[in-house]
Structures are given as C-alpha cells and as structure tokens.
Amino acid sequence: MRASYKWLAEYLDLADLSPAELADRLTSAGLAVDAVEPLNRGVERVVIGKILEVRPHPQADRLKICQVDVGGGERLEIVCGAPNAAAGLVVPVALPGARLPGGVEIRIAEFRGVSSHGMLCSADELGIETRYLPKRDVEGLLILPEDLPLGEDVVPHLHLDDVVFDLDLTPNRSDCLSIRGLVHELSAILRRPHRFPASVPGPRASGECPIQVRLETPRCPRYEAQVLEGIAVRETPLWMKMRLLAMGVRSIDLVVDVTNYVMLEWGQPLHAFDADAIAQGTIVVRQAREGERLVTLDGQERALTPDMIVIADPEKAIGLAGVMGGENSEITPSTRRIALESARFDGASIRRTGQALSLRSEAQQRFEKGVDPAAVSNALHRATVLLVQLAGSHPVGPPRRVPAEADALKPTVISFSPQACARFLGVDVPEDEMYACFESLGFGVARGEDEWRVEVPTRRSDVQLPADLYEEVARLYGYHHIPATSMRLPVEAPESSDDLKLVRKVRRALVDWGLCEVRTYALTSPEAEAPVAPSGVAVPLLRPMSDDRRTLRRHLLPSLAEVARYNLAHQVSGGAIFEVGKAFLAASWPQDALPEERAVLGMLWFGEREGNPFERPRPFDFYDVKGVCDALLARLGIQAAYRVSHHAYLHPGRQASIEVGGVMVGTVGELHPDVGDRYEVGRAVYAEFDLGRLFPLASSEVRVQSIPRHPASRRDLAVVVPLGVESQALVDEARRTLSERGVLRMVRVFDVYTGVGVPEGQKSLAIALWFQRDERTMTDAEIDDAVEAVLRAWEAAFGAKLRS
C-alpha cells in the first residue's frame, strides 16, 4: 500500500513531523513502512513555460527552434526534438543551471549552429513514473494545463514536492488500505484530532432514478447505483492525476480516475457502467450461469462458473462483481450517461473468482479483505460530488439502494477487563491511558468497576476479541514500554525413535559415499508423474498455488529428475543425489480415509562420473548404483537378493527388485531411454527403498568374528542354463544345499555369456564359490564333494550342465 504524505496532511496536522519521523511512528505502532520515497528525484530550476512560436531547424530535419515565454516578460530560444512541440502549449522548461534526475545539469548549448537556452522537458526527464500516466502524457513533452502561472516552479504544480510511504500491511489491517483508515490510525498514534468527514451528503437530485436493481444472490447484501448524465469534461485535472500517480494507480480517464480516487480515499471500490448499455434499465446481481462467458475490460474472454458473482442486466452479464467490468458496458468517449456502482460483495467469493481467472485488481484486494459497510453510501456520494464538480455532470434522481433501507450498522461490543489486559501485557498500563487509547481510535467506551464495554466501529473489522483490544493498547501505549523478559523453561531433549536413528544412519552413510542430499516439493502434477505411471490416483489440492504443484506426489523420481535437469542445464556434468521423503498413495479419490503416506529413500545418478588419472569420465551405470545399495544394506545388517523386475519406467534387462525373505523392499535400475528423454536427464540410474518395509528388518547388533586361521579355497564353475533362469536362483540354491555343512563362505557370479559355443536359448554363468572351515584346512576331497553336491542341485532344479 502506497500513501501520500501531502494527502494525509490535508486531514491531519503533520507540520511538526517530517516524513521520516512519521514513518518511524507508524512502524513503531505496527504498521511497517518499508520505504519513504520523495517524488522529486532531483528537479531544480524547472519552471512553467509557454511555447509561443515553433520553426524548423535550418540544419536538422528532426529539430525545432522554439520561442518560449517563461514569465516576467522573458523569452528564451530553445532547440527541441520532441514530436509534439507546438505553439500554444504549456510545458516544463529547464532553465540554464537547472538540475534533473540522474545528475543532469542544463547549460546553454549549441545545436547545429543554433544556441539553446534551456530544455523543454518530458515526464520521464522529470523523473515521473510514466507507467502511471496516460499514453498521451509520455509521448514527447509533458503538456501542462493552460491556466498555470508562467515562470513559477513546476515542482509544486506537478505535486512532486510530495513523499510516498510504502506500507507493508498485515492481512488483518484492511482498514489501512485507504487514506481514511490511515488518517484514523495516525490520529490515534499522534493523539491529534483529524478532519476526515464522518459522512458525505449526496447532491440534491430531482426525479426518479432510472435504474432498477435486483439482488438474486445472498453474496451481495448491499448494492447502490447512481445515474449521472451530461459529461462535459473528459480530461482528469492535473492534481488528481498526480495524486493517483503518487498512490501507484494509473490515470485512464476522468470517470475511471474519480472512482479510483474515491476508492483510495474511502477504501470502498466503485465501478462505472455506460448506463445506455444496460438492457431494460435493470441491474441484476446474480451468480454466473454454467458455460456463461464475458469479455472483460482487458479484452480477454472469460469462461465463468456458477461460483462467480456477476453484474448483469436481464439479457447478459456486464461485469465480474468486485474484480473487473465487462467490455460491453465500458465507458467510452461517446458515453453520455453513466451508472455508478457501490456495493458489498462476499470477500471469499471475490478471492476465488480472481484466483480462478488469474486476475488481480485494487478493487479485488479490498473486497476480499473486507470493506466497511459504512463507506458504501459515503463513497458513492463522494464520487457523485466529484463528477458534478469536475465533469459537469448532474445526477438523475437519488441513488437506487437495495435493500431500500440500510441495515443498522451495529458496532461490535466487546467486554474488556483492564486488569486482565495488564496481566496479559505484563506491564501496568494506567486505566486512564487505556481509555485514552480507545478514545483516540474512535472506540466507544462504557467504563465499569471491573469490566468495560468497548464499541468497535465497523471500519475495524479486525477487532473482535478482548485479545484484539489488548493489542491496540500495546500498540498505542508503545511497545517500548513493555519490558523484555527472558523465558526460562525446562527443556528436555526429545526421545529419538528407532526409525529416526536409522534415517540419520542412512543419511550419513550416503553422504560419506559421495551422494548429495536434496529437499524437494512433496507437490507435483499428473503430467510430471506420467512417465513413471505410479499406481493409484493422484490426490489433488483444494487450493493449489500453481498448476505445477496441484497434486501430492506418488513417486520420488519426478522430484529428483527435476533437480538433475536443473543441474545439467547449468553446466554440471553429473552427480548423485538422494532424498528421504514421503509418497502419498490412494486407490481412489475422494475417499473416506486419508491417503497412505509411504516413507521412501530415493536415489538418482545422472550425467557422468568424474574422471581420474586412471579412468576417463563415463556415464553412471547399473553396477555403480547396485554397489551403493549393497553397501547400504550391509550397513543396516540386511542380506537381500536381487530379482528380475518389470517396471515400465526402467530399462528392460537393466533393472531389479531388491527382496528380503520374499518381500520387495526396493528397486534399482537404469531409466528407460524414453523416460530419460522426457525428464531431460538422458542416461540415469534410479534406486529406491521403501523404508517402512526396510527398517523393521534392520539390525543394530554388531557381530565380531575372529580372523580365520585357515585359508579359504575358491572353485570357479561355468554352467549352461536356460536364458530364463536367474543367476540369483543358482546362488540361493548353492547356499541351501551346503547350509548344513557350514563350509560355503561366499558365492559370486562374475560372468554371463551367450554366443558361439553356447546353445541357442541358453546362457553360460561363471560362478565363484569360496569354501572354508574355522577349525582346520579343508581337503581337496571335501571341496570336490561340496562342488559335486552343488552341481547336482543345480542340475535337478534348473537343468544346469557344466560347460565343457
């Protein structure tokens, strides 16, 4: 919220307070001022002048020589290149020795043989924020009203001698989104009376209002309309234009500028319709119909829903209530009659409409936070008076009000205990001081012995509870009066669960092995998860902040791939990342129960691993990742088996499920090339563990074995088996066969071969077996017997034959 110092000073005596001091007082009372910005950014010795004569420059086609009257009978010859320079215009003139924003100093200069005694200025050259000015005021010279006195300093006439406060208001202080609210606030802070009118009488009007109003929705409890005709003047006066600029609102035309001016002054949004565009002279406030469409003032066609409030006539919608008007009722240069609207709309409905249509306006901001019911009629009267004064209009009949009689504006009455307030604040505030705080805020107070009854006016809708009154006392009495106290409470370290200990253990291990932990959003979109095709349905958010974050994630791969894609796009050659996060699974939605929250460890290796003197850079592969999975399982004391898996998002033949006792606890595999391309990560390897299944299997016991005193013996076997036989099955069968003998220490597959010398439909597996006893060295006969037992078991179970 921006606020003009000069505008505030019209209603309050601020002569003894500089803008900086006033900003400090506001901030100390809870209304934070982020910046104090003077509108004059270095303009000196710039006066008002009138162009008397313009002739072309003899040596330059784009330059003109202007004779300029700067008052006091002084005429200057100034060379100008502005396309709109013409005789009779009143413009800002920078005299020799003048200074402009950016440290520019004006001197007598020569342009192609002609001396220029100054400079004619545009709005941009004076440091004015041109984005808030109409197009005609930013193209070429800034044209001033003809009645300004020549030779006088342009700064006060352009209202550049003002200072703007940039206020960072908390959401509950919607009353301060207006000059009226800030004046009341400053009056309470400074304990000074203000001159802001309590009400505005409407202008006298004879006859009957030609507009009828029907309310067909409970979301509009109050609607008022005033018809005016005869718009004689279209140009917004300079003072209003510059005041809107100071408040950060763009000037459009006189009618729209008046409605914006009154909104900033009273906090009540208004809208003006072309009265002749309203069919049958009837305004209908209703909910939009299914499939109804409206072209708004920005030229966009909007698809409306029944949750939106529209202003309509019996034939069509003509505006989105509280958000934006319709193009079919827009004020144009040919408009002769206008209908001014002032109303109260349901704030939640206005907020939903703006979010659904991606619209944001000053009016919407005020409606969604809540407007003062007492301002509805007063703002309408104020705008009518201004249009009568500035545009030469006259009202046609009194305002049409629905309901005809305004609801009694009952103040909120709160019971207040001075003793409870003092205990709550921790400081003894005198009761007379509390009374003075409420009185300065305009609150009515009926004092009792133990309890007071405080009446809060409708403009302060944020004050509803005794605690709100305590806050008002603290703010106005001064936070600096409240002593700082140190909280001394016994603090005990929370007990850590076994799962949290295991999570910390996993994190430490992965970081030690070169992985980087990341934290990503638990929110995603169905489009981002489509390549993974996770099970279940996506759980949507009720009010998503963006389209990319509108559902709960069902898989960690899209989140990790987003991190990988960002790094690869920023010239990172590759890396390994992991996250311990939640995946949310639901068989259907909506459902009675909340979605299942699955704790998951996700890991992703992308790009290339760094080279070293002995190895060139190369892409990460399946076995890099499997090694980390094996090490992690060993760290947790878990022995797992790898089985063939068939996940569509992983590369066929380069993936496996990780099982413990027949229960799948994880997955590892290279991404399918199509999935890698969809996520823009190329060749990458992904692994995940379901921590809910993994952690119950983990062991915290540390087993120590003495170093074997007797050597182990290795036997390498090459067997031919059908292609469909998993190597893990042979490893498991060997362990089962020799489990009672206790001599098999390790089994490892070290080669797989198909091709010449191996029958079609079969493959050769090379498997190493290590044999060892603790008490003595094994004999060759014992080892041969164990090998024979394994070969017989393999042949019986899989048809395995020793490769010759």
Q: Where are the beta strands (DSSP E) in 349-504?
A: 394-395, 400-402, 412-416, 444-446, 452-456
The four Cα atoms 305, 306, 309, 310 give a dihedral, to 10 degrees, of 70
Q: Which two tokens stand for residue 700?
A: 């915290």
How does the average pLDDT of the chain come out, rounded?
92
Q: Are 133 and 253 in contact (CB under 8 A)?
A: no
First to last CA, the chain: 87
**pLDDT given for residue 442 in this prediction:** 94
**What's the rounded Cα separation, in Å, for the pair 445 and 451?**
10
Would strands 270-274 and 109-111 be described as parallel, antiparallel, or unpaired?
unpaired
d(CA 220, CA 635): 66
CA angle 450, 451, 452 (to 5 degrees): 135
- Average pLDDT per block of 10 residues along the chain, 804 residues long: 95 95 94 95 95 93 94 92 94 96 93 93 94 87 94 95 94 93 96 94 85 95 94 89 93 94 96 95 96 93 95 96 94 92 94 90 91 94 95 93 75 94 91 95 92 94 94 92 77 75 94 95 94 90 88 95 95 94 90 89 94 87 93 92 92 92 93 95 95 90 79 93 90 91 90 91 94 91 94 93 86
Q: Which residue has the tokens 């390498």?
A: 716
Collapsing DSSP to helix, strand or coil, 545 comes out as coil
292-311 confidence digits (pLDDT tens): 999 999 999 999 999 999 99
Q: Could you count the other beta carbons within 10 Å of the beta carbon of residue 243?
A: 22
DSSP secondary structure code for residue 153 in this structure: B
| Amino acid symbol at 74 | E
Six token digits for residue 804: 């010759």
What residue ranges in 278-336 does DSSP mark as E strands?
A: 282-287, 293-295, 301-303, 309-312, 317-320, 324-325
The answer to whether 679 and 561 have CB atoms below 8 angstroms apart is yes
Residues 385 and 200: beta-carbon distance below 8 Å: yes
Of 627, 634, 746, nearest to 698 by C-alpha is: 634
- Cβ contact 330:297 at 8 Å: yes
Helical H segments across 370-403, by residue range: 375-391
Q: What's the pTM value of the predicted model, to 2 decimals?
A: 0.66
Between the alpha carbon of residue 75 and those of residues 49, 79, 86, 116, 196, the distances in Å are 9, 13, 16, 12, 45
Asked if residue 233 lies in contact with residue 254, where contact means CB atoms within 8 angstroms, the answer is yes
Q: Does 471 carry a binding-site annotation?
A: yes
Whether the ω angle into residue 558 lies within 30 degrees of 0, i.e. cis, is: no
Cβ-contact 223, 268 below 8 angstroms: no
C-alpha atoms less than 13 angstroms from C-alpha of 410 in its C-beta half-sphere? 5
Residue 406 near residue 222, CB atoms below 8 Å? yes
Cβ contact 366:269 at 8 Å: yes
At 437, list the tokens.
């705080």
Residue 170 to residues 33, 179, 228, 280, Cα–Cα distance (Å): 11, 16, 37, 44
In 154-306, beta strands by DSSP E: 163-168, 212-215, 222-229, 270-274, 282-287, 293-295, 301-303
Please tell me the distance from the alpha carbon of residue 694 to that of residue 665, in angstroms, as a whole number: 6
Q: Under a CB-based contact definition with an 8 Å cutoff, are residues 362 and 265 in contact? A: no
Nearest-10 Cα torsion for 216, 217, 221, 223: -50
Bridge partners of residue 415, in order along the sequence? 453
75 vs 71: CA distance, rounded Å: 8
Question: In the numeric block, which tokens belong to residue 723?
Answer: 């292609």
Question: According to the model, what pLDDT value does residue 407 have?
Answer: 59
Per-residue pLDDT, 485 = 73
Residues 549 and 523: beta-carbon distance below 8 Å = yes
Q: How many residues does the chain have?
A: 804
**For residue 614, is it left (φ>0), alpha (ψ between -120 and 50) or beta?**
alpha
Asked if residue 390 lies in contact with residue 233, where contact means CB atoms within 8 angstroms, the answer is: yes
Alpha helices, DSSP H, located in 154-305: 154-157, 179-190, 238-246, 254-266
512 is in an annotated binding site: no
Sign of the Cα pseudo-torsion (351, 354, 357, 358, in order): negative
- Tell me what pLDDT residue 406 has: 62
The per-residue pLDDT for range 375-420, each reduced to its tens digit, is 999 999 999 999 999 999 999 999 999 997 665 578 899 999 999 9
Q: What are phi and psi of 588, to 5 degrees?
A: -155, 160
DSSP letter at 404 equals: S
Residues whose CB falls within 8 Å of the CB of residue 770, separated by 6 or more in sequence, listed in order: 712, 713, 714, 744, 745, 746, 747
Q: Are 88 and 105 in contact (CB under 8 A)?
A: no
Which element (helix H / strand E) includes 77? strand 75-80
For tokens 């389209």, name the residue: 547
Q: What is the CA radius of gyration of the chain?
A: 40
* pLDDT score, position 546: 87
- What single-letter DSSP state applies at residue 175? G
User: Which residues are CB-neighbours of 133 under 8 A, at least 6 positions away?
Assistant: 123, 241, 245, 250, 251
Residue type at 219?
Answer: R
Residue 121 CA to its chain's centroid (Å)? 39
Number of helical (H) and strand (E) elements in the chain, helices listed first: 20, 41
Give the domains, in start order, of the chain with CATH numbers.
2-36+168-190 (3.30.56.10), 44-157 (2.40.50.140), 212-402 (3.50.40.10), 412-477 (3.30.56.10), 498-697 (3.30.930.10), 713-802 (3.30.70.380)
Q: State the maximum Cα–Cα separation within the chain, in Å, rounded to a whole number.
A: 128
